[in-house]
A and B are shown apart, each in its own frame.
Chain A
Amino acid sequence: MAPEPPAILDAGPFDGVDPDEFVRASMHWHFDPATGSRYWLDRAGRLDFDPRRDVKGVADLALFPDLADELRDVPVTDLVPCGYGRDVRPVNVFDSGGTTGAPKRVVQLDDLVSRSTEQVDLRLRAHGLPTGTQWLTVAPTGPHLVGDVLQRAARSLGGPGLSVDMDPRWVRKLIAAGRNDEVESYTDHLVDQCRRILSTQDIGVLAATTPLLERFAREDDLLERINGSVRAIVWGGTHMDPDTRHLLATDVFPDTPLIGMYGNTMMLTALLERVGVGATEPCVFDPVSPYVFLSVVAPGTREPVGFGERGQVIVSHVSKSMLIPNNAERDTAVRTRPVDGQAGDAVADVAPVLTVEGDRVIEGVY
């Protein structure tokens, strides 16, 4: 096989590169002693296949064991490919939510931050999001990816971003301990902060988690403000069941487009709802070729389920800066064909799995 031109690794999300070729080039990058990360070079010796020889395309990412659990302990500097040179530092280190045990850590280098923002920006524009308008983002920041994705999207669309932070881990602890009154007080605290912003600022785009949007439905004054001025609502960070989505779109926010965002830390970016799908149809998320590939499988066998059937979501992230292949997410979804001939599956009606390795999944305001 001829050496892959490394230029393909710098391809943008809409450059139309061949995803199989991109994956092959990535294998050479991540598993070449001259360019790979300490983590992957060390891990390669314990794989029962040779990624550079055996991974010939997207489908072969399934050869990898699910190694995401190891990301709970790996020093983050070991995740940076040494091909970037000695001086490169991660722009961001993100933790998974900690919904299932100790958080897993991933790094974002500068190039991936740009690629991620570029694809989110393009897809939000495809949804007709206004530009140059103020955003209010109510989502967790700090170790969590979603807040960063939203704030960068706001800037990219020319909107100064106002924000309200939240600590989803604390909320989940409260829920696990049955301290529902404190969950309620914390949510009140978030709503109060939103009220101060919504009542004094002209907000054109509201980005918030599902439980917050549900909660706004109880506050008549906030609904009046939102329905009066907000021109688009982006929801994400947690699941939204189809009935809630339909009610929010038709009853609570009847005149404002509601745009779903599905992301998790192991994707290192977020997927936007497919354009042109109505509130009565399932909410579909397409992958982002060539960085994020999805498949929907039967949990026990990891065999793909049929199109239209529900299974567990498997996510692979492949880029120059990170490789997280074949990671079983805490989500289930209906397997759907992707648009634009993208590789792998699209997912519809994403919902939580009830158990991941014995721990009960607890969702809160996040």
Chain B
Amino acid sequence: MATPEAPQPVHLDALGPRGPYRTRMPSAVQDVTGTEVARLSLVPPVYVTRTLAALRKAEPVPTARVDALFEAAAEEFATGTVGGLNVHAYEHLVSRTCGTPLPVVRAATRGTARFVALARSSAEQGRPRGTLADPERAGAGHAIWARRGDVFAVNASGNHPGVHRLWLEALALGYRVAVRPSRREPFTPHRLVTALHGAGVRPDQLVLLPTDHRAADALIRGADRTIVYGGDDVVARYAGNPRVLPQGPGRSKILVTADTDWRRHLDTIVSSVADEGGTACVNATAVLVEGDPAPLAEALAARLSRLPGLPPQDERAVLPVVGLDRARALDSYLRFVAAGTRPWLGGDGIVEDLDDGSAALRPAVHQVDRADAEPLRTELPFPCVWVAPWNRTDGIAPLQDTLVLTAHTRDRALLDALLAEPTVANVYVGDHPTCWMAPGVPHDSYLSDFLMRSKAFVGAL
């Protein structure tokens, strides 16, 4: 093994306004084989309540210092020994507990550092041109960019370390931020929050609040704005709540029209499905092809079938790993959803038993016979893709409800329709995988659309 395992389980304390807080009975964090690797302090609701009150009283991080603080924290996050873990030990733990391939975790470390360092300027990208960030400079007839609240909460997921890139923008915009980590992957936010504290963000400006579900409700109720990651149930639950921004399944898609030869874009399609271990909301769930989808499905299956099933901490790992029970549950769910479709890969099972209580999830490629087939909505946490025929008569309805749509087409009118479609969040054209992201480019609109408003400010100070 490349990195030696820590001899004792790591303690991940809550990071509260008065420093680290350890509960009497910390909860076990297990790796994919069920071995305890860390102990996480889950705070009770009254701790959440008191912490939110402290955040509300605290000053924002001073605007003038944000860039320097974030750059220092990014460097520390990517290279330092934080909370007793050097970067290799940290990456090893994330890989072992989330089952994310180690190379993916490493790339995410570098990516997150880049996003953190640039978070202020990324947030600035979302500012309406009619507003000024600084009221000192606002003259007659101007507007300023103002926060909608003071406290921002993050109810994070653990599917990919990159989840913890966006909330830095809230901190840069002057929000005080409470991060509730995934119980499966608390390592990344713990490291990032600790690094930011080390760089000078005060503990009453940014906290890490691991909780159970009861206290999570207290967090969402008590914050002014919350971003919540989860499944369709989460999206439905908060759909009517203007203070909550749900981040559900991405249902990212690829479209190939008849004027384009998919063979020239196969690399992009494979990357869209399988990069990042296939677990991100920006991984492609469906490929829609104008014409016969079978040749594309066959070629895609051939490429994906070569991916090796390896323990997540292996240098060559590319596929996600989960506990064997969960792998079998996902396998039987896929079989249920895929009934009646044409399997090109994974039809006889996606579980590759690693003989240590865990299993790699092998890719699956299924062909459906209609662009509106029900399985297209099923997004699973591994490279699992549905290939469907698409015709002009189908229109853009089958392309709706999409986080990232990569279009291989030369049809300008179609592109205009996609850009105008409200339920398609992002449109990439040509050889840009659905999972491409960069600082300053919106992920699901700019976060500031949810956090900020424009306010007229007339007269002099």
Would you call B49 and A214 a contact (CB within 8 A)? yes
Would you call B24 and A243 a contact (CB within 8 A)? yes
Would you call B46 and A247 a contact (CB within 8 A)? yes
A178-217, CB < 8 A from B: 180, 184, 214, 217
Would you call A248 and B221 a contact (CB within 8 A)? no
CB distance from A354 to the nearest CB of B (A): 12
Residues on B with C-beta less than 8 A from A184 are 221
CA–CA, A242 to B50, complex, Å? 17
**With an 8 A cutoff between CB atoms, is A53 at the interface?**
no
| Chain A contact patch, size range | 10 to 19
A160-183, CB < 8 A from B: 180
**With an 8 A cutoff between CB atoms, is A86 at the interface?**
no
Encode B21-53 as 1/0 by CB contact (under 8 A) with A: 001110000000000000000011111011001
Contacts A180-B217, A184-B221 given: A243-B49 contact, CB under 8 Å?
no
Contacts A180-B217, A184-B221, A218-B53 given: A242-B46 contact, CB under 8 Å?
no
CA–CA, A246 to B22, complex, Å? 12
Would you call A244 and B50 a contact (CB within 8 A)? no
Number of interface residues of B (CB under 8 A): 14
Encode A109-145 as 1/0 by CB contact (under 8 A) with B: 0000000000000000000000000000000000000
Would you call A243 and B221 a contact (CB within 8 A)? no
CA–CA, A242 to B43, complex, Å? 11
**With an 8 A cutoff between CB atoms, is A241 at the interface?**
yes
Would you call B50 and A217 a contact (CB within 8 A)? yes
Q: Which of B24, B45, B217, B221 contacts A214 (CB 8 A)?
A: B45
CA–CA, A243 to B43, complex, Å? 8
Would you call A241 and B53 a contact (CB within 8 A)? no
Encode A233-269 as 1/0 by CB contact (under 8 A) with B: 0000000011110111001100000000000000000
Residues on B with C-beta less than 8 A from A246 are 24
Residues on B with C-beta less than 8 A from A242 are 24-25
Contacts A180-B217, A184-B221 given: A241-B50 contact, CB under 8 Å?
no
Encode B44-66 as 1/0 by CB contact (under 8 A) with A: 11110110010000000000000
Would you call A251 and B44 a contact (CB within 8 A)? no
Residues on B with C-beta less than 8 A from A218 are 49, 53, 222
Contacts A180-B217, A184-B221 given: A214-B25 contact, CB under 8 Å?
no
Q: Which of B47, B217, B221 contacts A247 (CB 8 A)?
A: B47
Residues on B with C-beta less than 8 A from A244 are 44-47
CA–CA, A246 to B25, complex, Å? 13
CB distance from A236 to the nearest CB of B (A): 17
Would you call A248 and B46 a contact (CB within 8 A)? yes
CB distance from A279 to the nearest CB of B (A): 11
Residues on A with C-beta less than 8 A from B45 are 214, 244
Encode B335-378 as 1/0 by CB contact (under 8 A) with A: 00000000000000000000000000000000000000000000
Residues on B with C-beta less than 8 A from A241 are 44
Would you call B221 and A217 a contact (CB within 8 A)? no
Closest Cβ neighbor of B25 among chain A residues: A242
CA–CA, A252 to B48, complex, Å? 13
Residues on A with C-beta less than 8 A from B23 are 243
Residues on A with C-beta less than 8 A from B24 are 242-243, 246
CA–CA, A214 to B49, complex, Å? 8
Residues on B with C-beta less than 8 A from A248 are 46
Residues on A with C-beta less than 8 A from B46 are 214, 217, 244, 247-248, 252
CA–CA, A251 to B53, complex, Å? 13
Residues on A with C-beta less than 8 A from B43 are 243
The 6 A-B pairs with the shortest beta carbon distances in the complex, nearest first, are A244-B44, A214-B46, A242-B24, A243-B23, A243-B44, A218-B49
A interface residues (Cβ-Cβ under 8 A, vs B)? 180, 184, 214, 217-218, 220, 241-244, 246-248, 251-252
What are 23 of the A-B contact pairs (CB < 8 Å)? Answer: A180-B217, A184-B221, A214-B44, A214-B45, A214-B49, A217-B46, A217-B49, A217-B50, A218-B49, A242-B24, A242-B25, A243-B23, A243-B47, A244-B45, A244-B46, A244-B47, A246-B24, A247-B44, A247-B46, A247-B47, A247-B50, A251-B50, A252-B50
Given contacts A218-B222, A246-B24, 14 further A-B contacts (CB under 8 A): A180-B217, A214-B46, A218-B49, A220-B53, A243-B23, A243-B47, A244-B44, A244-B46, A247-B46, A247-B47, A248-B46, A251-B50, A252-B46, A252-B50
